[in-house]
Protein backbone atom coordinates (compact mmCIF):
# COMPACT_ATOMS: atom_id res chain seq x y z
CA UNK A 1 0.00 0.00 0.00
CA UNK A 2 1.20 3.54 -0.79
CA UNK A 3 1.59 5.24 2.58
CA UNK A 4 3.09 8.59 1.68
CA UNK A 5 2.29 11.54 -0.55
CA UNK A 6 -1.35 10.80 -1.31
CA UNK A 7 -4.65 10.89 0.50
CA UNK A 8 -5.58 8.04 -1.83
CA UNK A 9 -8.79 9.58 -3.09
CA UNK A 10 -10.12 12.13 -5.53
CA UNK A 11 -13.35 14.02 -5.40
CA UNK A 12 -15.67 13.26 -8.31
CA UNK A 13 -18.12 16.07 -8.98
CA UNK A 14 -21.09 15.61 -11.27
CA UNK A 15 -22.19 19.08 -12.32
CA UNK A 16 -25.37 17.92 -14.08
CA UNK A 17 -26.62 16.13 -10.97
CA UNK A 18 -25.04 18.60 -8.55
CA UNK A 19 -23.62 15.83 -6.42
CA UNK A 20 -20.20 14.48 -5.54
CA UNK A 21 -18.54 11.31 -4.35
CA UNK A 22 -15.14 10.22 -3.11
CA UNK A 23 -13.31 7.87 -5.45
CA UNK A 24 -10.33 5.84 -4.31
CA UNK A 25 -7.19 5.90 -6.43
CA UNK A 26 -5.88 2.39 -6.83
CA UNK A 27 -2.56 1.70 -5.18
CA UNK A 28 -1.29 0.06 -8.37
CA UNK A 29 -2.21 3.17 -10.35
CA UNK A 30 -0.20 5.42 -8.04
CA UNK A 31 2.79 3.10 -8.19
CA UNK A 32 2.63 2.88 -11.99
CA UNK A 33 1.87 6.51 -12.83
CA UNK A 34 3.25 8.45 -9.80
CA UNK A 35 1.09 11.59 -10.00
CA UNK A 36 0.25 14.72 -12.00
CA UNK A 37 -0.28 14.21 -15.72
CA UNK A 38 0.85 10.56 -15.67
CA UNK A 39 -1.71 9.57 -13.09
CA UNK A 40 -4.28 11.82 -14.77
CA UNK A 41 -3.83 9.90 -18.05
CA UNK A 42 -4.52 6.65 -16.23
CA UNK A 43 -7.60 7.97 -14.40
CA UNK A 44 -9.05 9.53 -17.57
CA UNK A 45 -8.20 6.69 -19.93
CA UNK A 46 -11.71 5.22 -20.09
CA UNK A 47 -13.42 8.60 -20.44
CA UNK A 48 -11.46 9.88 -23.41
CA UNK A 49 -13.00 8.11 -26.37
CA UNK A 50 -12.15 9.01 -29.95
CA UNK A 51 -15.51 10.63 -30.67
CA UNK A 52 -15.84 12.50 -27.36
CA UNK A 53 -16.58 16.19 -27.95
CA UNK A 54 -14.33 18.18 -25.55
CA UNK A 55 -17.10 20.77 -25.32
CA UNK A 56 -19.85 18.45 -24.16
CA UNK A 57 -21.28 17.48 -20.76
CA UNK A 58 -19.58 14.08 -21.07
CA UNK A 59 -16.09 15.58 -21.32
CA UNK A 60 -14.17 15.16 -18.04
CA UNK A 61 -11.79 17.70 -16.55
CA UNK A 62 -9.32 16.57 -13.91
CA UNK A 63 -7.44 18.78 -11.46
CA UNK A 64 -4.71 16.54 -10.04
CA UNK A 65 -1.69 16.95 -7.77
CA UNK A 66 1.46 14.87 -7.40
CA UNK A 67 2.95 13.03 -4.41
CA UNK A 68 4.98 16.02 -3.19
CA UNK A 69 2.26 18.65 -3.53
CA UNK A 70 0.97 19.89 -0.19
CA UNK A 71 4.08 18.66 1.64
CA UNK A 72 7.29 20.35 2.77
CA UNK A 73 9.06 19.43 -0.49
CA UNK A 74 10.16 22.69 -2.18
CA UNK A 75 8.93 23.60 -5.69
CA UNK A 76 6.07 21.12 -5.40
CA UNK A 77 3.03 23.42 -5.35
CA UNK A 78 1.90 22.46 -8.82
CA UNK A 79 -1.17 20.81 -10.25
CA UNK A 80 -2.03 19.23 -13.57
CA UNK A 81 -5.20 19.99 -15.46
CA UNK A 82 -6.06 17.23 -17.91
CA UNK A 83 -8.78 16.16 -20.32
CA UNK A 84 -9.49 16.34 -24.04
CA UNK A 85 -8.33 19.57 -25.62
CA UNK A 86 -10.91 21.59 -27.57
CA UNK A 87 -8.00 23.15 -29.45
CA UNK A 88 -6.51 19.93 -30.81
CA UNK A 89 -9.20 17.31 -30.18
CA UNK A 90 -6.44 15.22 -28.61
CA UNK A 91 -5.19 14.50 -25.10
CA UNK A 92 -4.56 17.77 -23.29
CA UNK A 93 -2.50 18.54 -20.20
CA UNK A 94 -1.48 21.79 -18.63
CA UNK A 95 0.08 22.66 -15.29
CA UNK A 96 0.14 25.63 -12.94
CA UNK A 97 1.84 26.67 -9.71
CA UNK A 98 1.06 29.30 -7.10
CA UNK A 99 -0.80 28.49 -3.87
CA UNK A 100 -3.89 26.85 -5.36
CA UNK A 101 -2.18 23.45 -5.90
CA UNK A 102 -0.85 23.32 -2.32
CA UNK A 103 -4.31 23.98 -0.91
CA UNK A 104 -6.01 21.69 -3.43
CA UNK A 105 -4.05 18.88 -1.82
CA UNK A 106 -4.87 20.21 1.66
CA UNK A 107 -8.58 19.72 0.99
CA UNK A 108 -7.91 16.08 1.83
CA UNK A 109 -8.30 15.01 -1.81
CA UNK A 110 -5.52 14.41 -4.32
CA UNK A 111 -7.59 15.94 -7.07
CA UNK A 112 -11.01 16.84 -8.41
CA UNK A 113 -12.61 15.06 -11.36
CA UNK A 114 -15.37 17.11 -12.94
CA UNK A 115 -17.99 15.70 -15.27
CA UNK A 116 -21.35 16.94 -16.53
CA UNK A 117 -22.38 20.54 -17.08
CA UNK A 118 -24.46 23.20 -15.37
CA UNK A 119 -27.44 25.24 -16.48
CA UNK A 120 -26.40 28.37 -14.61
CA UNK A 121 -22.93 29.80 -13.92
CA UNK A 122 -21.60 28.23 -10.75
CA UNK A 123 -18.42 27.97 -8.77
CA UNK A 124 -17.33 25.07 -6.60
CA UNK A 125 -16.15 25.61 -3.06
CA UNK A 126 -14.15 22.52 -2.14
CA UNK A 127 -13.04 21.76 1.40
CA UNK A 128 -12.42 18.79 3.62
CA UNK A 129 -16.13 17.96 3.79
CA UNK A 130 -16.73 17.98 0.06
CA UNK A 131 -18.26 20.51 -2.32
CA UNK A 132 -20.60 23.44 -2.15
CA UNK A 133 -22.19 24.53 -5.45
CA UNK A 134 -22.37 28.33 -5.39
CA UNK A 135 -24.17 30.60 -7.81
CA UNK A 136 -21.77 32.52 -10.07
CA UNK A 137 -24.30 34.36 -12.26
CA UNK A 138 -23.05 37.67 -10.86
CA UNK A 139 -19.47 36.70 -11.77
CA UNK A 140 -20.17 35.75 -15.40
CA UNK A 141 -18.41 38.33 -17.56
CA UNK A 142 -15.94 39.19 -14.81
CA UNK A 143 -12.22 39.17 -15.54
CA UNK A 144 -10.12 36.50 -13.86
CA UNK A 145 -8.81 38.95 -11.26
CA UNK A 146 -12.29 40.30 -10.50
CA UNK A 147 -13.53 36.73 -10.13
CA UNK A 148 -10.78 35.69 -7.72
CA UNK A 149 -11.24 38.84 -5.63
CA UNK A 150 -15.03 38.46 -5.51
CA UNK A 151 -14.89 34.80 -4.43
CA UNK A 152 -12.30 35.55 -1.76
CA UNK A 153 -14.53 38.32 -0.43
CA UNK A 154 -17.61 36.10 -0.47
CA UNK A 155 -15.99 33.09 1.16
CA UNK A 156 -13.61 34.90 3.48
CA UNK A 157 -10.62 33.23 5.12
CA UNK A 158 -7.93 31.32 3.32
CA UNK A 159 -9.40 30.27 0.01
CA UNK A 160 -7.51 29.82 -3.24
CA UNK A 161 -9.21 30.13 -6.59
CA UNK A 162 -8.67 28.80 -10.12
CA UNK A 163 -11.04 30.45 -12.57
CA UNK A 164 -11.82 31.45 -16.13
CA UNK A 165 -12.29 34.88 -17.65
CA UNK A 166 -14.47 36.07 -20.55
CA UNK A 167 -12.36 34.09 -23.05
CA UNK A 168 -13.30 30.81 -21.38
CA UNK A 169 -16.94 31.84 -21.18
CA UNK A 170 -16.87 32.56 -24.92
CA UNK A 171 -15.28 29.17 -25.63
CA UNK A 172 -12.07 30.56 -27.09
CA UNK A 173 -10.22 27.38 -28.00
CA UNK A 174 -7.06 28.42 -26.17
CA UNK A 175 -8.57 30.06 -23.12
CA UNK A 176 -6.81 29.23 -19.87
CA UNK A 177 -7.55 28.60 -16.20
CA UNK A 178 -5.84 31.21 -14.03
CA UNK A 179 -5.06 31.03 -10.32
CA UNK A 180 -3.35 33.16 -7.66
CA UNK A 181 -0.91 35.77 -8.95
CA UNK A 182 -1.23 35.25 -12.67
CA UNK A 183 -0.34 31.56 -12.52
CA UNK A 184 -2.07 29.74 -15.34
CA UNK A 185 -2.83 26.27 -16.60
CA UNK A 186 -2.52 27.88 -19.98
CA UNK A 187 -2.24 25.22 -22.63
CA UNK A 188 -4.89 23.17 -24.42
CA UNK A 189 -7.97 25.38 -23.94
CA UNK A 190 -9.35 24.08 -20.66
CA UNK A 191 -10.84 27.52 -20.01
CA UNK A 192 -13.31 26.70 -22.79
CA UNK A 193 -14.08 23.31 -21.21
CA UNK A 194 -14.99 25.09 -17.97
CA UNK A 195 -16.86 27.78 -19.91
CA UNK A 196 -18.95 25.15 -21.71
CA UNK A 197 -19.77 23.57 -18.36
CA UNK A 198 -20.71 27.04 -16.99
CA UNK A 199 -18.13 26.43 -14.28
CA UNK A 200 -16.66 29.85 -13.49
CA UNK A 201 -14.22 28.77 -10.80
CA UNK A 202 -13.01 26.15 -8.36
CA UNK A 203 -12.10 27.48 -4.92
CA UNK A 204 -10.24 25.33 -2.41
CA UNK A 205 -9.40 25.52 1.27
CA UNK A 206 -8.26 23.13 3.96
CA UNK A 207 -5.44 22.04 6.19
CA UNK A 208 -5.36 18.28 5.77
CA UNK A 209 -1.77 17.35 5.07
CA UNK A 210 -1.00 14.25 3.01
CA UNK A 211 0.80 11.51 4.95
CA UNK A 212 4.58 11.24 4.77
CA UNK A 213 5.98 7.73 5.09
CA UNK A 214 9.56 8.45 6.22
CA UNK A 215 9.89 12.06 7.31
CA UNK A 216 13.59 11.89 8.25
CA UNK A 217 14.52 10.35 4.90
CA UNK A 218 12.44 12.97 3.13
CA UNK A 219 14.17 15.80 5.01
CA UNK A 220 17.54 14.37 4.00
CA UNK A 221 16.51 14.35 0.33
CA UNK A 222 15.15 17.89 0.63
CA UNK A 223 18.52 19.07 1.96
CA UNK A 224 20.24 17.46 -1.02
CA UNK A 225 17.75 19.06 -3.42
CA UNK A 226 18.19 22.50 -1.86
CA UNK A 227 21.92 22.13 -2.25
CA UNK A 228 21.51 21.27 -5.94
CA UNK A 229 19.24 24.28 -6.33
CA UNK A 230 21.92 26.54 -4.87
CA UNK A 231 24.55 25.23 -7.28
CA UNK A 232 22.49 25.10 -10.48
CA UNK A 233 23.36 28.00 -12.84
CA UNK A 234 20.00 27.88 -14.64
CA UNK A 235 18.20 28.27 -11.31
CA UNK A 236 20.34 31.34 -10.61
CA UNK A 237 19.26 32.74 -13.97
CA UNK A 238 15.53 32.39 -13.30
CA UNK A 239 15.84 33.50 -9.67
CA UNK A 240 17.52 36.70 -10.79
CA UNK A 241 15.61 37.46 -13.97
CA UNK A 242 12.63 35.04 -14.02
CA UNK A 243 12.46 32.65 -17.02
CA UNK A 244 12.67 35.87 -19.08
CA UNK A 245 16.41 35.55 -18.43
CA UNK A 246 16.51 32.88 -21.12
CA UNK A 247 15.78 35.44 -23.88
CA UNK A 248 19.40 36.57 -24.02
CA UNK A 249 20.79 33.05 -23.48
CA UNK A 250 18.64 31.63 -26.29
CA UNK A 251 19.51 34.60 -28.49
CA UNK A 252 23.17 33.59 -28.26
CA UNK A 253 22.57 30.34 -30.10
CA UNK A 254 19.54 31.16 -32.23
CA UNK A 255 16.92 29.65 -29.93
CA UNK A 256 14.81 32.78 -29.43
CA UNK A 257 12.41 33.29 -32.34
CA UNK A 258 10.94 36.55 -33.66
CA UNK A 259 8.67 37.67 -36.52
CA UNK A 260 6.53 34.53 -36.60
CA UNK A 261 9.52 32.19 -36.33
CA UNK A 262 11.12 33.69 -39.45
CA UNK A 263 14.13 35.28 -37.72
CA UNK A 264 16.32 35.00 -34.65
CA UNK A 265 17.80 38.49 -35.09
CA UNK A 266 16.11 41.31 -33.16
CA UNK A 267 17.02 44.11 -30.71
CA UNK A 268 17.61 41.68 -27.85
CA UNK A 269 18.85 44.23 -25.29
CA UNK A 270 15.44 45.96 -25.35
CA UNK A 271 13.63 42.80 -24.22
CA UNK A 272 16.22 40.91 -22.17
CA UNK A 273 15.50 39.61 -18.69
CA UNK A 274 18.09 42.05 -17.37
CA UNK A 275 16.34 45.05 -18.93
CA UNK A 276 13.06 43.79 -17.53
CA UNK A 277 14.58 43.41 -14.08
CA UNK A 278 16.27 46.81 -14.04
CA UNK A 279 13.16 48.70 -15.11
CA UNK A 280 10.13 46.74 -13.91
CA UNK A 281 10.77 44.14 -11.16
CA UNK A 282 9.40 45.11 -7.78
CA UNK A 283 9.64 41.92 -5.73
CA UNK A 284 9.59 38.12 -5.96
CA UNK A 285 6.28 36.28 -6.16
CA UNK A 286 7.10 32.65 -5.36
CA UNK A 287 4.76 29.68 -5.39
CA UNK A 288 4.01 28.12 -1.99
CA UNK A 289 7.20 26.97 -0.27
CA UNK A 290 9.51 27.86 -3.17
CA UNK A 291 13.01 29.09 -2.29
CA UNK A 292 13.59 30.39 -5.84
CA UNK A 293 10.75 32.78 -6.61
CA UNK A 294 10.94 32.96 -10.39
CA UNK A 295 7.66 34.91 -10.42
CA UNK A 296 8.12 38.69 -10.16
CA UNK A 297 5.74 41.51 -9.37
CA UNK A 298 5.95 43.95 -12.27
CA UNK A 299 5.65 47.74 -12.21
CA UNK A 300 2.77 48.79 -14.48
CA UNK A 301 1.40 52.20 -13.50
CA UNK A 302 -1.43 52.42 -16.04
CA UNK A 303 -5.21 52.70 -15.79
CA UNK A 304 -4.97 52.91 -12.01
CA UNK A 305 -3.12 49.57 -11.81
CA UNK A 306 0.19 49.92 -10.03
CA UNK A 307 1.57 46.39 -10.37
CA UNK A 308 0.85 43.36 -12.55
CA UNK A 309 1.90 39.74 -12.38
CA UNK A 310 5.05 38.14 -13.64
CA UNK A 311 6.04 38.33 -17.31
CA UNK A 312 7.92 35.17 -18.20
CA UNK A 313 9.83 33.94 -21.21
CA UNK A 314 6.68 32.86 -23.04
CA UNK A 315 5.10 36.30 -22.72
CA UNK A 316 8.18 38.01 -24.07
CA UNK A 317 8.44 35.63 -27.00
CA UNK A 318 4.91 34.86 -28.03
CA UNK A 319 2.89 38.09 -28.18
CA UNK A 320 6.14 40.06 -28.08
CA UNK A 321 8.96 39.00 -30.36
CA UNK A 322 6.87 36.78 -32.65
CA UNK A 323 4.64 39.80 -33.32
CA UNK A 324 7.69 42.05 -33.80
CA UNK A 325 7.02 44.00 -30.60
CA UNK A 326 10.13 45.06 -28.68
CA UNK A 327 8.62 47.57 -26.26
CA UNK A 328 8.49 46.08 -22.76
CA UNK A 329 5.71 48.51 -21.86
CA UNK A 330 3.57 47.07 -24.66
CA UNK A 331 4.48 43.44 -23.94
CA UNK A 332 3.61 43.86 -20.26
CA UNK A 333 0.27 45.38 -21.23
CA UNK A 334 -0.49 42.54 -23.68
CA UNK A 335 0.46 39.93 -21.10
CA UNK A 336 -1.74 41.54 -18.47
CA UNK A 337 -4.68 41.68 -20.89
CA UNK A 338 -4.30 37.97 -21.65
CA UNK A 339 -4.41 37.26 -17.90
CA UNK A 340 -7.43 39.52 -17.44
CA UNK A 341 -9.41 37.80 -20.21
CA UNK A 342 -8.08 34.34 -19.38
CA UNK A 343 -6.21 33.67 -22.62
CA UNK A 344 -3.21 31.38 -22.97
CA UNK A 345 -0.33 33.75 -23.58
CA UNK A 346 1.53 31.32 -25.85
CA UNK A 347 -1.32 30.41 -28.19
CA UNK A 348 -2.61 33.98 -28.25
CA UNK A 349 0.76 35.31 -29.34
CA UNK A 350 1.22 32.61 -31.95
CA UNK A 351 -2.27 33.22 -33.37
CA UNK A 352 -1.60 36.96 -33.58
CA UNK A 353 1.79 36.46 -35.22
CA UNK A 354 0.28 33.91 -37.63
CA UNK A 355 -2.43 36.45 -38.55
CA UNK A 356 0.20 39.07 -39.37
CA UNK A 357 2.05 36.50 -41.46
CA UNK A 358 -1.16 35.50 -43.30
CA UNK A 359 -2.08 39.13 -43.93
CA UNK A 360 1.35 39.89 -45.34
CA UNK A 361 1.13 36.80 -47.56
CA UNK A 362 -2.27 37.98 -48.85
CA UNK A 363 -4.46 35.33 -47.16
CA UNK A 364 -6.32 37.77 -44.91
CA UNK A 365 -7.83 41.01 -46.20
CA UNK A 366 -7.22 44.66 -45.21
CA UNK A 367 -10.76 45.02 -43.93
CA UNK A 368 -10.27 42.24 -41.37
CA UNK A 369 -7.78 44.50 -39.58
CA UNK A 370 -9.24 47.94 -40.37
CA UNK A 371 -6.59 48.73 -42.95
CA UNK A 372 -4.09 45.92 -42.51
CA UNK A 373 -1.61 44.93 -39.83
CA UNK A 374 2.16 44.59 -39.59
CA UNK A 375 4.78 43.34 -37.18
CA UNK A 376 5.21 45.77 -34.31
CA UNK A 377 1.69 47.19 -34.63
CA UNK A 378 1.03 47.12 -30.87
CA UNK A 379 -2.19 49.15 -30.98
CA UNK A 380 -3.89 46.74 -33.37
CA UNK A 381 -2.55 43.69 -31.57
CA UNK A 382 -3.90 44.98 -28.26
CA UNK A 383 -7.33 45.62 -29.81
CA UNK A 384 -7.31 42.11 -31.34
CA UNK A 385 -6.86 40.53 -27.91
CA UNK A 386 -10.19 41.93 -26.76
CA UNK A 387 -11.82 40.87 -30.04
CA UNK A 388 -10.53 37.32 -29.60
CA UNK A 389 -11.71 37.10 -25.99
CA UNK A 390 -15.16 38.38 -26.97
CA UNK A 391 -15.22 36.66 -30.37
CA UNK A 392 -15.96 39.92 -32.15
CA UNK A 393 -15.29 40.42 -35.92
CA UNK A 394 -12.03 38.73 -36.99
CA UNK A 395 -11.62 37.74 -33.32
CA UNK A 396 -14.23 35.01 -33.83
CA UNK A 397 -12.00 33.30 -36.39
CA UNK A 398 -8.79 33.91 -34.45
CA UNK A 399 -10.41 32.38 -31.34
CA UNK A 400 -10.41 29.02 -33.14
CA UNK A 401 -6.60 28.64 -33.16
CA UNK A 402 -4.02 28.39 -35.93
CA UNK A 403 -5.17 25.11 -37.45
CA UNK A 404 -8.73 26.30 -37.98
CA UNK A 405 -7.55 29.69 -39.22
CA UNK A 406 -5.37 27.87 -41.73
CA UNK A 407 -8.22 25.64 -42.83
CA UNK A 408 -10.54 28.56 -43.58
Rounded Cα distance between 360 and 314, Å, is 24
Least separation in angstroms between residue 404's CB and ligand SF4 is 31
Looking at 286, 349, 395, 401, which residue binds ligand SF4 (CB under 6 A)?
A: 286
Which residues between 97 and 156 bind ligand SF4 (CB under 6 A)? Answer: 97
Instruction: Give the orientation angle of helix 328-341 with respect to helix 345-360, to 10 degrees.
Output: 120
From the CB of residue 111, how many other CB atoms can be counted at a distance below 10 Å? Answer: 30
Residue span binding ligand SF4 (CB under 6 A) among the ranges 209-217, 221-229, 266-274, 288-296? 288-296
Work out the number of other CB atoms within 10 angstroms of the CB of residue 333.
22
Stretch that binds ligand SF4, among 129-137, 154-162, 290-298, 330-338 (CB under 6 A): 290-298
Which of left, alpha, beta for 267 (phi over 0: left; psi -120 to 50: alpha)? beta
- Provide the b/e sequence for 350-372 (b: ≥16 CB within 10 Å): bbbbbbbbbbeeeebeeebbeee
In whole angstroms, the minimum distance from the beta carbon of 396 to ligand SF4 comes to: 34
Provide the phi-psi class of 342: left if phi over 0, else alpha when psi is between -120 and 50, else beta.
Answer: left
Residue span binding ligand SF4 (CB under 6 A) among the ranges 189-197, 284-292, 316-324, 335-343: 284-292
Q: What is the DSSP pairing of strand 177-179 with strand 79-84?
A: unpaired
Q: Is 293 one of the binding residues for ligand SF4 (CB under 6 A)? A: yes
Q: Give the residue, chosen from 290, 315, 340, 364, that forms a contact with ligand SF4 under the rule CB under 6 A.
A: 290
Beta carbons of 302 and 333 less than 8 angstroms apart: yes
Phi, psi at 150, each rounded to 5°: -65, -45
Residue 208: how many other CB atoms lie within 10 Å: 13
Q: What's the closest the beta carbon of residue 287 comes to ligand SF4, in angstroms?
A: 3
Question: 257 CB contacts (<8 Å, ≥6 apart)?
Answer: 263, 264, 317, 321, 322
292 binds ligand SF4 (CB under 6 A): yes
Indicate the residue among 97 and 182 with the shorter CB distance to ligand SF4: 97
Q: Considering beta carbons, is residue 83 or 295 the nearer one to ligand SF4?
A: 295
The least CB distance from residue 251 to ligand SF4, in Å, is 22
Q: Is 222 helix (H, G, I), strand (E, B) or coil?
A: helix
Chosen residue from 294, 385, 397, 399 binding ligand SF4 by CB under 6 A:
294
Piece in contact with ligand SF4 (CB under 6 A), picked from 23-31, 265-273, 292-300, 371-379: 292-300
How near is the Cβ of 210 to ligand SF4 at its closest, in Å? 18
By CB under 6 A, how many residues form the interface with ligand SF4? 9
Verify binding: residue 5, ligand SF4, rule CB under 6 A.
no
Using the rule CB under 6 A, give the single segment among 38-46, 142-150, 188-196, 289-297 that binds ligand SF4.
Answer: 289-297
Q: Are 191 and 168 in contact (CB under 8 A)?
A: yes
User: 408 near 397, Cβ under 8 Å?
Assistant: yes
- Residue 143 in contact with residue 165, Cβ under 8 Å? yes
Q: In the range 26-85, which residues lie near ligand SF4 by CB under 6 A? A: 75
Query: Where does this chain touch ligand SF4 (CB under 6 A) — which range of 35-43, 56-64, 148-156, 293-301?
Result: 293-301
Q: Which stretch binds ligand SF4 (CB under 6 A): 56-64, 285-293, 340-348, 385-393?
A: 285-293
Cβ distance to ligand SF4 smaller for residue 97 or 342: 97
Contact residues for ligand SF4, defined by CB under 6 A: 75, 97, 286-287, 290, 292-295
Amino acid sequence: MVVGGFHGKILQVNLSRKNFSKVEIKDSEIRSFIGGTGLAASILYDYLTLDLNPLSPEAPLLFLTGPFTGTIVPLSSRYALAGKSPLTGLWGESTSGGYFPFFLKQTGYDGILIIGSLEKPTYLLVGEDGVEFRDASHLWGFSTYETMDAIKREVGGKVYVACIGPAGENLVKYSCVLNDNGRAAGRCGFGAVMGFKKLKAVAVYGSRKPPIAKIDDLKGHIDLALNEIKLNPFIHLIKEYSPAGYVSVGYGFGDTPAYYFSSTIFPMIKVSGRTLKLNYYVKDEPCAGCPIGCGKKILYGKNGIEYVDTVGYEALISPGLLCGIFSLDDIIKIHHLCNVYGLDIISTGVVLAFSIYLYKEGFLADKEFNGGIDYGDSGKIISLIEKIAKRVDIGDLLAEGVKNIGLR
